[in-house]
Structure 1
Amino acid sequence: MKLDILAYPEESLKEVCSRVEEVTPELKEIIDNMIETMYEDDGVGLAAPQVGVQKRLIVIDPSGPKERTDLQVIINPEIVEKSSQKVDSEEACLSCPGFKCVIKRHETVTVTGTDPEGNDVRIEADDFLAIVLQHEIDHLDGTLIVDRVGRLKRAMYDKKVKKWLKSAGK
């Protein structure tokens, strides 16, 4: 089932998520729904808080909307190593419609966590995969891409969002 993606300025997107203590049948259903939602919306990653679940859970597929060959589900992901070198990354976000920006990200990261079967996961990532992991883990810590830009760019987006909300009667 495709889930609704929460959009900025939704307050719950700013919350730090709690750890997943147990993989329940309900959590497995949420994972399946998150994967379907990510694919239907042509995303390369989706974090649980984007669909209203305040748990440390991400689904990613950095192979892109056309291939869909590298699906990974990571429970309680954590960046345990990161390079000092940074790269510029042009990013967009399913929770920030109509917004793109350039963010400085670590060039390489090592992420640990578990998969839905309880197996340990360790990903040593560079390039696009490193960026996707950092972006999605940011969501688990209550950070959106609009939080990583300058005041002027954010103010311009805030103005646009207020206009959209007003025209939608919210």
Structure 2
Amino acid sequence: MHRGTIPGSSGSVHPLRLPADPALRTRCAEVTSFDAELARLVEDLFASMYAAYGVGLAANQIGVPVRVFVYDCPDDEDRRHLGHVVNPRLVETGGAIVRGPESCLSLPGAEAAVERRDRAVVEGYDRRGEPVRIEGTGFFARCLQHECDHLDGGVYADRLTERRRRRVLRAVRPAPWSAPDGG
């Protein structure tokens, strides 16, 4: 992205994967090439996230099994956090355990209260290979933890009791941004 450009403005919108798609359940591979293809992926992720009105999106949610996610997410003080992380590692969580509503673009129509830590720190790289460290609190910390879960092959429903998890998965409905037949 060049200074002054809107993230995703040169990207393509991709359909998002639903729970039946194996792409959501597979741990993503490390990125090894910080090249034009990676820059294009970051743009496509932003375009796809904005088209679905999301606040975060992981690469496997559009069927690309690599460790990249983007975000445009407020924290609890309504400060905007905008960026991307390549090969993220959740290196620290802390603060209170907060039970709050969580939803996901890959589980459209469903929402559940999920326990997450109120603070999270993620380290990784930007699309050029420069190190980044992102610290979040409140809703933004929830977003960082949620996207890291995706890259490990998980969804928020995995953090629920079996009964609540089944209820969430039954509530999932295809959305305009969903891939046909979940893949």
Both structures adopt the same fold (TM-score exceeding 0.5): yes
After superposition, residues 109-148 of structure 1 pair within 5 angstroms as: 109-148=120-159
Moved over 3 A (4+): 157-161
Size of the alignment, in residue pairs? 164
2:42 corresponds, among 19, 25, 31, to: 31
TM-score by length of 2: 0.81
Percent sequence identity over aligned pairs: 34
In 1, the alpha carbon distance for the partners of 2:113 and 2:150 equals: 17
Is the 2:110–2:169 Cα contact (8 Å) retained in structure 1?
no
Give the CA RMSD over aligned residues: 2.4
Structure 2, gaps ≥5 residues long: 1-11, 175-179
- Report whether the alignment pairs 1:58 with 2:69: yes
In 2, the alpha carbon distance for the partners of 1:159 and 1:80 equals: 33
Structure 1, gaps ≥5 residues long: none
TM-score by length of 1: 0.87
- Report whether the alignment pairs 1:149 with 2:160: yes
Q: Which has the higher contact order (CA 8 A, sep 6+)?
A: 2
- Report whether the alignment pairs 1:107 with 2:118: yes
Quote the offset at 1:81 in angstroms. 1.4
Is the 2:123–2:133 Cα contact (8 Å) retained in structure 1?
yes
**Partner residue in 1 for 2:28:** 17
In 2, the alpha carbon distance for the partners of 1:48 and 1:130 equals: 19
User: 1:105–1:169: structure 2 CA closer, same or farther, 3 Å change rule?
Assistant: closer
Quote the offset at 1:46 in angstroms. 0.1
* Alignment-mate amino acid for residue 117 of structure 1: R
**Partner residue in 1 for 2:9:** none
Q: Name the SS for the 1:61 alignment partner.
A: strand
Q: Which protein has the bigger helix share? A: 1
